[in-house]
Homo-oligomer: A and B are copies of this chain.
Amino acid sequence: MFTRHPLNPLITPAHLRPSRPDYEVIGAFNAGAALVHGETILLVRVAERPIKSDPQWIVCPYLDASGEITLLRVHPDDSDYDTRDPRFVRHLPSGNVFLTSMSHIRCARSRDGVHFTIGDQPFLQAETPYEAFGVEDARITPLGDEYYINYSAVSSHGIATGLALTRDFQTARRHGIIFPPSNRDVAIFPRQVNGLYACYHRPMPGDFGAYSIWYATSPDLVRWGDHQVVVQGSRMGWDSGRVGGGAPPVWTEHGWLSIYHAADRTQRYCLGALLTDHDDPTRVLARSSTPIFAPELPYETDGFFPNVVFTCGATVIGDTLRLYYGASDETIALAEASLSELLETLRREPAP
Contact = CB atoms under 8 A, between A and B. Distances in A.
A158 interface: yes
Copies in the complex: 2
B97 A158 contact: no
Interface size class for chain A?
35 or more
Interface of A: 90, 94-95, 97, 129-130, 155-160, 175-183, 201, 203-210, 212, 214, 216-220, 222-229, 235
Closest 9 CB pairs of A and B: A206-B206, A158-B209, A158-B205, A223-B225, A181-B205, A180-B203, A177-B227, A222-B225, A180-B227
A53 to B, nearest CB: 29
Nearest to A201: B180
Looking at A157, A159, A204, A228, the one whose CB has the most chain B CB atoms below 10 A away is A157
Given A178-B225, A228-B177, A205 B159 contact: yes
A23 B211 CA distance: 32
A295 to B, nearest CB: 24
Contacts of A217: 223
Contacts of A178: 225-227
Contacts of A210: 156-158
Contact of A207 (B95, B179, B226): B95
Nearest to A197: B223
A95 B207 CA distance: 7
A2 to B, nearest CB: 31
Nearest to A222: B225
Contacts of A181: 203, 205, 208-209
Contacts of A90: 207
Nearest to A232: B157
A182 B203 contact: yes
Contacts of A158: 203, 205-206, 208-210
Contact of A222 (B176, B183, B226, B235): B226
